[in-house]
Structure 1
């Protein structure tokens, strides 16, 4: 009796934290390991489990059941675990979840069920009881839809990961979820964004719709996304956008429209994006960018225009964002003429653009833009030198003509001197007859030589 009494007294004197650690280890399920650190973590991953353990430590704050062979979750599958904050069921063979399977996990904050390829359906009451759930991951499953009222109790939900499923539309279940901040819907089969698909998501900061089949976006589809900061619409089938598609998205920092089928860029698209820092328009079919497109984007740092069909980029289109940090222009069929001379100067001054390869004219195809424009400058010098030599020869011809006409008198010499000092255009007026014919012929010949000496890029300019 005294021994038992001593143990009881000792237990009463022990700190509560020590007692919790002892209880965590004592009730650890078979094939699992329990670590008392961080309020009892139960590690049952990679244990070849086909069924759930009958019980878990009541003190468990995190349970990891990843990479097992679990197939079925019954009602109250985990019992009552008031301390549980995180539950992971990734990479199992779960095919059915009984409504109420998570009852008893009233304080669960994070639930991960990704990479369960046999989950194709979720009941409306699947997540009953999870009123404090903040993060839910059902990505890489085989879901075709989610019931509209499935999250009626999950008012605290902030992050929803549903990428790599089979959704053909944005789940209606997320409408009106005011606390949602992150939604991942990439790599599905979504075909359109309707006017009501994203209603009421006023606190959403991150939306990923990349790598779907979106070809239609309603004009008012994004009107409620007033807090959005990162938006991925790349690798879809968009050939056009509503003129005011991004109206009101004043806090947007990054917009990715790459990998679509856009041919023109309207200046109205980005008129409200005053805080945008990174814009992707790469891998489209752009041939035209409207003047004023970037005029309100005073925060823009990086612009991706590579891999399009652009042949020119007039300065008026680009000038308002002349202070860009990065500009990507490679893989476009650039026409290297004087219209791009401003770009060459910008490249030389800031060293922030490279790989701008010319496609036309054919004489400079494959050359870097900077080198072609340097050649243009050198060619001008060649033409100037040829012209000086020709003028010198014409002057000698004029002197000979004047001496023959005016004789050797003093007056004639004085007049000859005056004639010699006259401008070339005035001296040409004195030529007549055979001399004029010789002058005209020589001018044409030397003009042709000068043109032949210059590269075709100069003639094109």
Structure 2
């Protein structure tokens, strides 16, 4: 073993010249391919390797061992490779990593170990010796936790990818890592964000906590994230937030709170987010947005409020969002009354909003807000339901009056014809007595004006009987 180590050390002292490039190819492990470029890459991916090659070219700057069958990494598993910058062990069957397995890789910048389903435990000294490590990917493994001091030798670490594991809390190992800029913890089983979970991360720009089970966020949990720009909290179980949840996050550009269980939007949540450009509040259960909730969002460009239970969006809630370019409001049970007239006018003027289906009032249900016509009465807006009711009442009144006048006119003409007929019949049968004349006429007394009026009103009330003839009118009297 000593001889081999010495040989590797001598080889690693060769100058990085043309001969060095050819040396990389000559020392290439079996089942692998090595490039001849100045930066030597060793490609051993998809080679069905169950064990690591015994040696690697010391000129290697990148080694790819993805999609093999590696199960175990022993101490100093890769020897001494001072030029190595990138190492990928994704998609293997690694179950155990001996402490010090990466010693000898003093200049390693990126280590990828994602998609190793059998990694459930890491020793405190797993990454010992990797003092220049900048990016570490442990995604889609089977980790339930990592030791709090596991990154004690990685002061340069900036990007940590641990998504799709089994963490129930934010790993304490990241606390105080002042150089971290990106943390990916999505699709774990995290239930809460404690007040001290993210302490000391004052250079963090990107934090992804989406797809967890977070239902509690403590006060001041984000107080140290003063440089945060992108924050994903979507698809959790949040029903409320602390009063000043995002206080101090003045550099935040994007905040995603979609897919939670929020019912109310407080005016205090976003008061410090003066640089926020995109805000997601979609797929919640929002019923109410407090006045002034968006008043300090002077840089907001896109606002997602779709897929909630909102029925109204008063102008006092909305303004003053000065530069809003995209407003998404679909899949809400909007009540398209006068409180949304401003939105209709805004839609017509800027053409930046569409798909706002009305659920109420019934007179416009199913229509898009863009199709609703608001009218004014004495300078005031009239709700579509009131407008339709007023119009309908006027139409009914007018129709009733016309039918009444027409019926009276017809009945009066009928009475006149009946009287003229009776007079002629009397002259023709002048020898008959008055009593006999009444019997010959069918023993029906002539209708009076009062009876005609009663008949007209009755017919209007029971119009379904159809317009009566003269004889039926007489029978009703």
Question: TM-score interval w.r.t. the shorter chain?
Answer: 0.7 to 0.9
* CA pair 373-142 structure 1, distance change in 2 beyond 3 A: same
1:191, distance to aligned residue in structure 2 (A): 0.2
Equivalent-residue separation in structure 1 for 2:47 and 2:247 (angstroms): 52
State the partner residue of 2:369: 369
* CA pair 87-214 structure 1, distance change in 2 beyond 3 A: same
State the partner residue of 1:119: 119
For the 8 Å contact 1:191–1:213, the answer to whether it is kept is: yes
TM-score (norm 2): 0.76
Structure 1, residues 73-100: CA drift from partner, whole Å, max 9, x if none? 0000000000000000000000000000
Q: Secondary structure at the match of 1:255?
A: strand
| 1:12-411 superposed matches below 5 A | 16-373=16-373
Q: Secondary structure at the match of 1:231?
A: strand
Structure 1, residues 403-444: CA drift from partner, whole Å, max 9, x if none? xxxxxxxxxxxxxxxxxxxxxxxxxxxxxxxxxxxxxxxxxx
For the 8 Å contact 1:341–1:373, the answer to whether it is kept is: no
Aligned residues: 383
TM-score (norm 1): 0.79
Structure 1, residues 43-99: CA drift from partner, whole Å, max 9, x if none? 000000000000000100000000000000000000000000000000000000000
For the 8 Å contact 1:178–1:201, the answer to whether it is kept is: yes
What runs of 5+ residues in structure 2 fail to find an aligned partner? 1-13, 376-383, 402-459, 461-477
Q: Secondary structure at the match of 1:364?
A: coil
Equivalent-residue separation in structure 1 for 2:99 and 2:165 (angstroms): 21
Equivalent-residue separation in structure 1 for 2:137 and 2:38 (angstroms): 23
For the 8 Å contact 2:298–2:322, the answer to whether it is kept is: no
Structure 1, residues 125-146: CA drift from partner, whole Å, max 9, x if none? 0000000000000000000001
For the 8 Å contact 2:299–2:323, the answer to whether it is kept is: no
Q: Secondary structure at the match of 1:373?
A: coil
Equivalent-residue separation in structure 2 for 1:94 and 1:46 (angstroms): 15
1:362, distance to aligned residue in structure 2 (A): 2.0
State the partner residue of 1:397: none
Q: Which structure has the greater CA radius of gyration?
A: 2
Structure 1, residues 310-347: CA drift from partner, whole Å, max 9, x if none? 00000011020153100000000001101100000011
For the 8 Å contact 1:263–1:288, the answer to whether it is kept is: yes
Equivalent-residue separation in structure 2 for 1:78 and 1:153 (angstroms): 19
Equivalent-residue separation in structure 2 for 1:373 and 1:112 (angstroms): 60
For the 8 Å contact 2:336–2:360, the answer to whether it is kept is: yes
1:355, distance to aligned residue in structure 2 (A): 0.6
1:16, distance to aligned residue in structure 2 (A): 4.5
For the 8 Å contact 1:344–1:373, the answer to whether it is kept is: no
Q: Secondary structure at the match of 1:362?
A: coil
For the 8 Å contact 1:335–1:359, the answer to whether it is kept is: yes
Equivalent-residue separation in structure 2 for 1:38 and 1:235 (angstroms): 46
The CA RMSD measured in Å over matched residues stands at 2.7
1:38, distance to aligned residue in structure 2 (A): 4.4
Equivalent-residue separation in structure 2 for 1:198 and 1:165 (angstroms): 19
For the 8 Å contact 2:299–2:322, the answer to whether it is kept is: no
Q: Secondary structure at the match of 2:372?
A: helix
For the 8 Å contact 1:175–1:197, the answer to whether it is kept is: yes
Structure 1, residues 240-296: CA drift from partner, whole Å, max 9, x if none? 000001000000000000000000000100000000000000000001100011111
| 1:405-424 superposed matches below 5 A | none
Structure 1, residues 133-179: CA drift from partner, whole Å, max 9, x if none? 00000000000001000000000000000000000000000000000
State the partner residue of 1:442: none
Q: Secondary structure at the match of 2:111?
A: strand
1:15, distance to aligned residue in structure 2 (A): 8.7
Equivalent-residue separation in structure 1 for 2:34 and 2:83 (angstroms): 15
Q: Secondary structure at the match of 1:347?
A: helix
Equivalent-residue separation in structure 2 for 1:316 and 1:281 (angstroms): 18
- Runs in 1 of length 4+ with deviation above 3 angstroms? 374-377
